[in-house]
Amino acid sequence: MRPVSNPSNPWLSTDVEWIGEPPEAALHVFEEDAKTILSENDSPDVGMRWSLNPYRGCQHACSYCYARPSHQYWGFGAGTDFDTKIIVKVNAPERLREAFERRSWKGESVMFSGNTDCYQPLEASYQLTRRCLEVCLEYRNPIHMITKSALVRRDVDLLVKLVERARASVTISIPFADDAMAKQVEPFAAKPSLRFEALRVLAAAGIEVSVNVAPIIPGLNDPDIPEILERARAAGAVGAGIIPVRLAAEVKPVFFERLEQAFPQRVAKVTSALLQIRAGKLNESRFEKRMTGVGPRWEAIRALFDAHCRRLGLRRYDGGDVGDEDEDEEAETTFRRPTRQGDLFER
């Protein structure tokens, strides 16, 4: 990895996610020449086999982020290091093209943001996600994206073309309905109001969009479920999913420190609710168990979610299954390698 002392200033770009002043914390950027860019997933909890992550670490600084422990693999901490020491895979588009050129590649759908957000603020200047989308379009490879960034609106033009020539869908995570409450827990992610607007822009362009009401933090944001679903449906969403918060050992102190600072009167309530939906534990790490809850408390949350999905006509997704993953597996791939003639004879 190569440290970058003065990366390009995304605030001077027209593609700006944060409206207002950037965070005070110093940002350290490390550029990396990645050996590969596609990660193969064999977890039964994830609906897609292949994922792509141009960045390690995430500037959104969500206190609950399940990806925090992965930052330790690179010698960093799971706390503020995760938020401020970002590794950028500068050769991501080139590695994606190499993967598509391998004879073993069969054109399966690729999920953007299987770990950290592919549209975090540095994307405004590096544009690695956009360039990877251009590669997917060139090869007509189907994709699904999951993000909590309003920056996804920038790439509507490419997503529309992918819808026409391959398959593309987008899920936007919105766990809070209120901008002020969201800022306390996910301080540098786009405001929920901006995420609803991003849903509207994508849907209006003909892109299939869903909302992920995730993570559910019982005792804090479960009352927001009806409003989030209402606003998402009004914006054009066709599906929705929920996932309970996952608190690995390295995530717990970050989450509870933020919770105690922002909502001290709710700490006991949230702790009790978490123990109820995790069978007396604060976390569940087992496959096929970690993406859902148990017990009467979780059943009540699930019933609330299901009732409003039915009322609004939203497709419901379980656990990590968001978007059209099952349909993608069954559908004939649109993938094809470009020829020297390119698209000369295509519309």
Burial environment of residue 81 by CB neighbours within 10 A (0 to 12, 13 to 18, 19 or more): middle
Q: Are 89 and 39 in contact (CB under 8 A)?
A: no
Torsions phi, psi for 150 (to 5 deg)? -75, -10
Tens of pLDDT, residue by residue over 109-125, are 999 998 999 999 999 99
Q: Are 87 and 32 in contact (CB under 8 A)?
A: yes
Tens of pLDDT, residue by residue over 127-146, are 999 999 999 999 999 999 99
Amino acid residing at 183:
K
pLDDT at 4: 55
Residue among 177, 197, 3, 157 at smallest CA distance from 87: 3
State the number of CA atoms in the 13 A half-sphere of 239 facing the CB. Answer: 18
CATH class for the region spanning 2-10+23-330:
alpha beta
In b/e form, how buried is each residue of 83-93, taking b as 16+ CB within 10 angstroms?
A: bbbbbbbbbbb
Beta strand residue intervals within the chain, DSSP E: 2-4, 28-32, 38-40, 50-52, 55-56, 85-89, 110-112, 143-147, 168-173, 208-216, 239-244, 315-318
Is pLDDT at 172 greater than 90 in this prediction? yes
Q: Are 87 and 128 in contact (CB under 8 A)?
A: no
For β-strands 55-56 and 28-32, DSSP reports them as unpaired
**Both structure tokens of 303:** 């019933």
pTM: 0.90
User: CA 148, CA 157: separation in Å to the nearest integer?
Assistant: 19
Q: How confident is the model at residue 15 (pLDDT cuts 50, 70, 90)?
A: low
Task: Give the relative orientation of helices 156-165 and 128-139 as an angle to the nearest 10 degrees.
Answer: 20
**Both structure tokens of 176:** 């809070």
SS3 state at 300: helix
Q: How many CB atoms lie within 10 A of CB 259?
A: 21
User: CA 22, CA 185: separation in Å to the nearest integer?
Assistant: 17
pLDDT at 341: 57
User: CA 159, CA 147: separation in Å to the nearest integer?
Assistant: 14
Q: Which residue has the tokens 């050129």?
A: 101
pLDDT at 317: 87
Q: Are 29 and 122 in contact (CB under 8 A)?
A: yes
Helices (H) and strands (E) in the chain, counts: 12, 12
pLDDT at 330: 57
Tens of pLDDT, residue by residue over 196-219, are 999 999 999 999 999 999 999 999
Average pLDDT, the chain: 90
Tens of pLDDT, residue by residue over 26-55, are 899 999 999 999 999 877 666 678 999 999
Q: How confident is the model at residue 346 (pLDDT cuts 50, 70, 90)?
A: low
